[in-house]
């Protein structure tokens, strides 16, 4: 079987979908049809060698199918020309004039009224008439068919101005609906446009710079990006330093400093400084391209509410049509009342019966939510995950690489017997220079970071002591650097040293002891440090009513220490990958929906088993990223509560839209039965409801990350020229300090967020 995607201009509503289904689903060789209103696409699973027969079949019902090319633009833009609007305006004037003339003269069926009504219908209703004829040919009940029946019925019973107004309002509403759906398409198209089509590049350092299309640039090529330019491809900085605004990819609110060795993402904005970088991903394979692909792919994964509405619409329309027929026929036949009022009521019911508002609101809302998430650096692989995220009550988190950075850092240096912290760190880094152990790297990196211009000491007779540490001579003295066991073997441990070691180990830290042959000179503690977002994210999850559990392969002491420091509710330690999977199974028995957050291959089984798997976008392995349902870019755990809040808001929009659409129909059913509503009012209500629910769904595109408010400092006094309690925007922090609060001198210019880095007191609501 082959899958082919077709672009179909005009595929906006279940009316067009039903026409195509009725035409194609009987064809031999077609196995499956999938429709995407937002993208105006249809995917067909078939066994044909060529698609000509499919294209001809769709042409038979007045539509056009174009085989989608790889990397083609999103959907088909349907720009409505001034001519279209002019025709609608003229037809509207004619329909209104017919209404006014018939009302003021009482001659509703005069030739003047007839001429104006027919002219209005001809100018505005040709597309509807064509679609209704195709609907009749295929025995399809859709909105075009219902509108045509209503117009013909109105003419038969002499309501000519009403018939004209129905057609004009319907055509106008369709035009406005096209515009509203284009808003959703453009939200995704804007992501595509973020990356430029050309770049200044060269193949190697000896070549000259050339402007080339990004499609011609190869892996390893060097690209030059100037200040104010967008970055065209993913890569690694090889020369230069700059500040990049990468909010479009990671959702970060502040620009990020980039230097040699740092990663750049296509579509991000270079604010200052020229940089050169080596290309690591080709066009179509960048992180931006993957995000766009996943957002598009996710829309086809219909959410639970969307599936329900689709099934509901299948039964709803035929039932309401049957009711309309019974209303038109039974009262006159049984009660002997005139046919006219009951036929009119039936026509109103036919118009209001179309489920467009119900069906179109769900995909618009879901895609708006997916696009909003992508802009915040949350990549969701299906609308179903966006919807069920609101139901999460339990979230399991891996420790290493998820809650923590996944790499050890020096956390404590305890000095003894006159040795300073700098001396202890210098000696330890000198001894560890030749070691490949991760803890040794952490000590050397800490020295280099704190003392970038200082040199290390010369080591004589260096020797590795397997399983215990290292030893060597410095200035003629033998020194040892190693674990607790090495200190015991050298008989340098004392009760004081033991107490210090026990305290540090209870905090989940690994201890390294520096000693000579007589005594301990100092103790260093190394630990896998927490991510800056971990504690705040866990707190926010608790505020949202979500219980947290840590699933880790690390030891119980370290796991408990980490969990306690950030507020994790439960801890499961010493777990193998299959045990994490079993733990998720057990949690699913207690909770209907369980989320799992991880980054490694060992987390993949648990990610796959959970209701929603979350992977860390930067540090996550390929296996974890492919298995997960949601990817958190920039490894920011604050995106977890943001996802939950977006999911809940999306669900509220869905409920609002469905409730409103159904309520409008119920109200007009009642009004039609008592003879209050008119045909044009029914059209206005039906199409108006469609537009309202679409625009309500589009509001999700403006969803902001509420977690960012917690990074916005709040002035507690009049420091920095702001009133107490005033929230400060990033732009407001780039100004001059009025006094020395926040460790800044008077009239010193502050960079964004600089004033929350080293506060000297509790101004700006931050402690020292």
Q: What percent of the chain has pLDDT over 70?
A: 77
For residue 378, with 0-12 CB atoms within 10 Å meaning exposed, 13-18 middle and 19 or more buried, which class applies? buried
Q: How confident is the model at residue 743 (pLDDT cuts 50, 70, 90)?
A: very low
pLDDT tens digits, one per residue of 380-437: 877 788 888 999 999 999 887 788 877 788 889 998 878 899 999 999 999 988 776 7
Rounded to an integer, the average pLDDT of 72-89 is 63
Contact criterion met (CB below 8 Å) for 669 and 349: yes
Structure tokens at 524: 């260093």
User: Which range is least confidently modeled, 537-551, 640-654, 693-707?
Assistant: 693-707
Distance, CA of 261 to CA of 635 (rounded, Å): 18
Q: How many residues does the chain have?
A: 768
Is beta strand 594-598 parallel, antiparallel or unpaired with respect to 394-397? parallel
pLDDT tens digits, one per residue of 162-199: 778 778 877 776 676 666 556 555 655 666 667 788 89
Q: Which of 4, 3, 1 is nearest to 67 (CA)?
A: 4
Assigned fold of 379-403+531-643: Rossmann fold (3.40.50)
Please state, rounded to an integer, the average pLDDT across all residues of the chain. Answer: 77
Higher pLDDT, 705 or 483: 483
Distance of CA 44 to the CA centre of its chain: 27
Distance, CA of 276 to CA of 218 (rounded, Å): 15
Contact criterion met (CB below 8 Å) for 191 and 247: no
Q: Which helix (H) or strand (E) holds 623?
A: helix 622-627
pLDDT (0 to 100) of residue 359: 61
pLDDT (0 to 100) of residue 754: 38
Say how many C-beta atoms besides its own lie within 10 A of residue 241's C-beta. 14
The three state secondary structure string of 468-517 is: CEEEEEECCEEEEEECHHHHHHCCCCCHHHHHHHHHHHHCCCEEEEEECC
First CA to last CA across the chain, in angstroms? 65
Contact criterion met (CB below 8 Å) for 215 and 232: no
pLDDT (0 to 100) of residue 728: 39
Q: Beta strands of 69-126 (E only): which ranges?
A: none
Domain ranges of the chain: 2-67, 198-285, 379-403+531-643, 407-530, 712-765
User: Which range is least confidently modeled, 88-102, 639-653, 672-686?
Assistant: 672-686
Q: Beta strands of 82-194 (E only): which ranges?
A: none
Residues carrying an active site annotation: 398
Distance, CA of 718 to CA of 723 (rounded, Å): 5
Buried b (16+ CB within 10 A) or exposed e, 202-213: beeeeeeeeebe
- The residues with which 263 forms a beta bridge, in sequence order, are 236
Rounded to an integer, the average pLDDT of 518-543 is 89
Q: How confident is the model at residue 569 (pLDDT cuts 50, 70, 90)?
A: very high
- The residues with which 235 forms a beta bridge, in sequence order, are 264, 279
Q: Which helix (H) or strand (E) holds 549?
A: strand 547-551
| Residue 370 Cα distances to 298, 350, 521, 531, angstroms | 8, 35, 57, 26
Structure tokens at 664: 């409008």
pLDDT tens digits, one per residue of 292-302: 665 555 444 44
Distance, CA of 220 to CA of 190 (rounded, Å): 28
pLDDT tens digits, one per residue of 258-280: 888 888 888 888 887 889 999 99
* C-alpha count within 13 angstroms, C-beta hemisphere, residue 388: 21
- The residues with which 630 forms a beta bridge, in sequence order, are 380, 614
Contact criterion met (CB below 8 Å) for 733 and 748: no
Rounded to an integer, the average pLDDT of 12-32 is 79
Q: To which residue do tokens 């930067």 refer?
A: 618
Distance, CA of 203 to CA of 221 (rounded, Å): 5
Higher pLDDT, 147 or 5: 5
pLDDT (0 to 100) of residue 640: 92
DSSP state of 208: P
Per CATH, the architecture of 198-285 is what? Distorted Sandwich (2.70)
> Percentages helix, strand, coil for the chain, rounded to the nearest 5?
50, 20, 30
Domain boundaries 2-67, corresponding CATH code = 3.30.70.100
pLDDT (0 to 100) of residue 714: 37
Q: How confident is the model at residue 710 (pLDDT cuts 50, 70, 90)?
A: very low
The CATH label, of 3.90.1150.10, 3.40.50.920, 3.40.50.960, 3.40.1110.10, for the domain at 407-530 is: 3.40.1110.10
User: Which range is least confidently modeled, 68-77, 410-419, 609-618?
Assistant: 68-77
pLDDT (0 to 100) of residue 10: 72
- The residues with which 270 forms a beta bridge, in sequence order, are 244
Q: Which of 143, 377, 387, 145 is nearest to 267 (CA)?
A: 377
pLDDT at 485 over 60: yes
Distance of CA 491 to the CA centre of its chain: 58
Contact criterion met (CB below 8 Å) for 682 and 348: yes
pLDDT tens digits, one per residue of 309-318: 556 656 766 7
Residue 71: partners with Cβ closer than 8 Å, 6 or more residues away: 284
Is beta strand 570-572 parallel, antiparallel or unpaired with respect to 547-551? parallel
Distance of CA 15 to the CA centre of its chain: 29
Rounded to an integer, the average pLDDT of 129-152 is 72
pLDDT (0 to 100) of residue 514: 94
pTM for the structure as a whole: 0.59
């Amino acid at each position: 079987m082959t899958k082919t995607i077709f672009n179909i201009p005009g595929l906006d509503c279940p009316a067009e979908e039903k026409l195509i289904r009725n035409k194609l689903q009987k064809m031999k060789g077609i196995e499956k049809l999938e429709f995407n209103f937002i993208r105006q696409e249809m995917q067909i699973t078939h066994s044909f060698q060529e698609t000509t027969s499919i294209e001809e079949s769709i042409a038979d019902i007045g539509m056009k199918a174009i085989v989608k090319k790889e990397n083609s633009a999103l959907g088909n833009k349907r720009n409505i020309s001034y001519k279209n609007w002019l025709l609608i305006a003229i037809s509207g004037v004619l329909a209104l004039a017919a209404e006014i003339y018939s009302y003021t003269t009482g001659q509703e069926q005069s030739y003047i009224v007839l001429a104006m009504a027919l002219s209005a219908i001809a100018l505005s209703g040709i597309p509807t008439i064509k679609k209704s004829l195709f609907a009749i040919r295929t025995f399809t009940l859709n909105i075009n068919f219902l509108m045509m029946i209503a117009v013909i019925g109105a003419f038969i019973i002499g309501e000519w101005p009403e018939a004209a107004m129905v057609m004009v309002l319907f055509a106008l509403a369709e035009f406005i609906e096209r515009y509203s759906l284009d808003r959703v398409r453009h939200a995704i198209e804007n992501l595509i446009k973020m990356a430029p089509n050309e770049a200044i590049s060269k193949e190697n350092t000896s070549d000259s710079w050339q402007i080339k299309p990004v499609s011609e640039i190869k892996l390893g090529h060097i690209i030059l990006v100037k200040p104010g330019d967008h970055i065209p491809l993913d890569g690694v900085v090889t020369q230069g330093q700059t500040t990049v605004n990468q909010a479009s990819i990671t959702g970060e609110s502040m620009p990020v400093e980039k230097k040699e060795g740092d990663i750049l993402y296509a579509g991000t904005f270079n604010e200052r400084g020229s940089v050169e970088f080596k290309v690591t991903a080709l066009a179509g394979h960048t992180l931006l391209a993957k995000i766009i692909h996943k957002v598009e792919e996710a829309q086809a994964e219909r959410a639970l509410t969307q599936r329900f509405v689709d099934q509901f619409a299948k039964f709803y329309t035929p039932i309401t049509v049957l009711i309309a027929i019974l209303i038109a026929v039974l009262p006159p036949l049984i009660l002997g009342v005139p046919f006219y009022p009951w036929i009119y009521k039936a026509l109103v019911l036919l118009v209001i019966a179309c489920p467009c508002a119900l069906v179109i609101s769900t995909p618009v809302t879901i895609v708006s939510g997916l696009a909003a998430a992508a802009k915040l650096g949350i990549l969701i692989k299906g609308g179903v995950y966006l919807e069920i995220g609101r139901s999460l009550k339990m979230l399991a988190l891996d420790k290493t690489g998820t809650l923590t950075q996944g790499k050890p850092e020096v956390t404590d240096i305890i000095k003894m017997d006159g040795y300073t912290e700098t001396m202890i760190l210098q000696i330890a880094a000198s001894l560890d220079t030749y070691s490949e152990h991760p803890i040794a790297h952490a000590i050397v990196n800490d020295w280099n970071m704190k003392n970038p211009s200082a040199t290390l000491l010369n080591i004589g007779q260096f020797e590795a002591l397997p399983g215990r540490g290292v030893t060597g001579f410095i200035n003629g003295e033998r020194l040892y650097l190693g674990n607790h066991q090495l200190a015991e073997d050298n008989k340098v441990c004392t009760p004081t040293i033991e107490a210090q070691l026990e305290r540090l180990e209870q905090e989940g830290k690994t201890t390294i002891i520096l000693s000579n042959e007589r005594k301990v000179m100092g103790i260093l503690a190394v630990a896998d440090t927490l991510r800056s977002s971990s504690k705040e994210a866990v707190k926010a999850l608790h505020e949202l009513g979500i219980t947290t559990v840590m699933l880790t392969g690390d030891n119980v002491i370290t796991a408990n220490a980490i969990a306690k420091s950030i507020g994790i509710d439960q801890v499961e330690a010493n777990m193998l990958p299959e045990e994490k999977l079993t733990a998720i199974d057990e949690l699913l028995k207690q909770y209907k929906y369980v989320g799992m957050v991880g980054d490694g291959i060992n987390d993949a089984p648990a990610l796959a088993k959970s209701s929603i798997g979350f992977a860390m976008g930067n540090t996550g392995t390929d296996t974890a990223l492919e298995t997960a349902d949601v990817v958190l870019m920039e490894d920011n755990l604050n995106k977890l509560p943001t996802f939950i809040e977006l999911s809940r808001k999306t669900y509220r929009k869905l409920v609002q839209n469905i409730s409103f659409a159904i309520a409008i129909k119920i109200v007009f059913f009642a009004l039609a039965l008592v003879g209050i509503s008119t045909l044009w009012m029914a059209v206005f209500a039906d199409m108006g409801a469609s537009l309202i629910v679409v625009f309500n769904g589009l509001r999700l595109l403006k969803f902001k990350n509420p977690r960012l408010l917690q990074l916005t400092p709040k002035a507690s006094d009049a420091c920095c020229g702001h009133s107490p309690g005033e929230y400060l925007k990033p732009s407001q922090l780039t100004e001059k300090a009025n006094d020395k609060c926040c460790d800044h001198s008077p009239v010193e210019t502050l960079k964004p967020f600089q004033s929350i880095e080293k506060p000297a007191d509790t101004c700006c609501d931050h402690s020292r």
